[in-house]
Amino acid sequence: MKLIPCPDLGPRPRNEFDYGGEVRRPPLDADDKCWAEYVYNRSGQPGVLREWWYHRPTGNWYVFERDTQRDEFLISIPLKEVQYALPSDETTA
Amino acid sequence: YQRGVEIHQKTAVTAIVEKDGRVTGVQTNRGFIQCNKVVSMVAGSTPRITSMLGLQTPIEIFPLQACVSEPVKPFLDTIIVSGSLHVYVSQSSRGELVMGASVDPSVLHSTRSSFDFVEELADKMLDLFPFTGRLRVMRQWAGMSDITPDFAPIMGKTPVEGFYLDAGWGTWGFKATPVSGKTMADTVVNDRNHELIEPFRFDRFREFDLVGERGAASVGH
């Protein structure tokens, strides 16, 4: 049974989580070519990846950095660090 | 050494050398190979190779696990695939049940298999065949599947001149090896994509022209 070190709850079984994929930031002001690359391309090679993980029992999202070759969870990242402003946020501010 | 082919075992590619946007050779752990055409068809190891050229691709690597039970007397002469349970089972000529489900839920560059897989698979198998409840799992393993967003392969020329890809087949493609070998050979010799593999070109993602591959196995469509 693999465990994920949840920063709020301590180690939890991995199957309580859904994988949300790589953390990425969209190029909000970009042409079609940039958007196509953002939509489809990924950091496919092995290494440390910053990823979204959804904890189903609590409904919370977490961000972890994981070694995708050794399957080791390294650190958890506070959500503040991956937030970004949307253009609509700026115009209504 | 027939038909001009050499096979070099235990020779790892460490770098692909390019100059002015075209391939000039391959660096290995046993020396340098000068060449102007390189074909990469290494499935689960593809991102390691494309990153040597700084090539971005949509490919992500997920383990696909399978397992085999102890041998039992023959009772199954067909392969059963359940779309709703998302499990497949067949019986080998040695009497073992060969079973598998879908790709692992998260990216991993490893051929390790897990208890989570066997536990979930057993749950589905018991739904399908309750009488297998006392069968023992003898062995489990995994392969690294190179998955693309439309589950179709990436074949042919790439933005780097002289570098060709035949990858992204993911969880399927074994039966397609004869025709993919033929079309890739034609592509490499003539330095333009064979018409049969045009739909699988590298540029289709940038052009938002995906394939929607219904032939892919062990993935949700």
Does A31 reach chain B within 8 Å, measured CB to CB?
no
Return the closest-CA partner of residue B166 out of B149, B189, B185, B150.
B185
Global pTM value: 0.91
- Which of B11, B20, B14, B8 is CA-nearest to residue B48? B14
CB B78 within 8 A of CB B92: no
CA distances in angstroms from B165 to B26, B47, B153, listed in the order given: 15, 11, 9
Q: How confident is the model at residue A32 (pLDDT cuts 50, 70, 90)?
A: confident
Work out whether strand A72-77 and strand B80-82 pair parallel, antiparallel, or are unpaired. Answer: unpaired
Maximum CA pair distance of chain A? 48
For B108, name the nearest residue in chain A, comparing CA atoms only.
A68
B125 touches chain A (CB under 8 A): no
Instruction: Say if residues A50 and A78 touch (Cβ distance below 8 Å).
Output: no
Q: Which is more confident, A84 or B219?
A: A84
Residue A25 touches partner B, C-beta closer than 8 Å:
no
Cα B37 to Cα B55: distance, rounded to the nearest angstrom: 16
Residue A93 confidence (pLDDT) above 60: no
Report the distance separating Cα B33 and Cα B158, nearest Å: 20
pLDDT tens per residue across all 221 residues of chain B = 678 889 999 999 999 999 999 999 999 999 999 999 999 999 999 999 999 999 999 999 999 999 999 999 999 999 999 989 999 999 999 999 999 999 999 999 999 999 999 999 999 999 999 999 999 999 999 999 999 999 999 999 999 999 999 999 999 888 999 999 999 999 999 999 999 999 999 999 999 999 977 766 666 55
Tell me the CA distances in angstroms from B24 to A73, B19, B20, one per residue in order. Answer: 39, 7, 10
ipTM field = 0.90
* pLDDT at B75 (0 to 100): 96
Which residues does chain B have within 8 Å of residue A15's beta carbon, measured at their own beta carbons?
116
Angle value at C-alpha B182, between B180 and B185, nearest 5 degrees: 105
Chain A: residue whose CA lies nearest to B49: A45
Q: Provide the pLDDT confidence category of residue A59 given band limits of 50, 70 and 90.
A: very high
Contact between B105 and A18 using a beta-carbon 8 Å cutoff: yes
Q: Which residues of A touch B105 (CB under 8 A)?
A: 18-19
**Closest residue, chain B, to A48 (C-alpha):** B108
Are B56 and A37 an interchain contact pair (Cβ–Cβ within 8 Å)? yes
Residues of B in contact with A71 (CB under 8 A): 108, 110, 112
Chain B partners of A42 at a C-beta cutoff of 8 Å?
A: 57-60
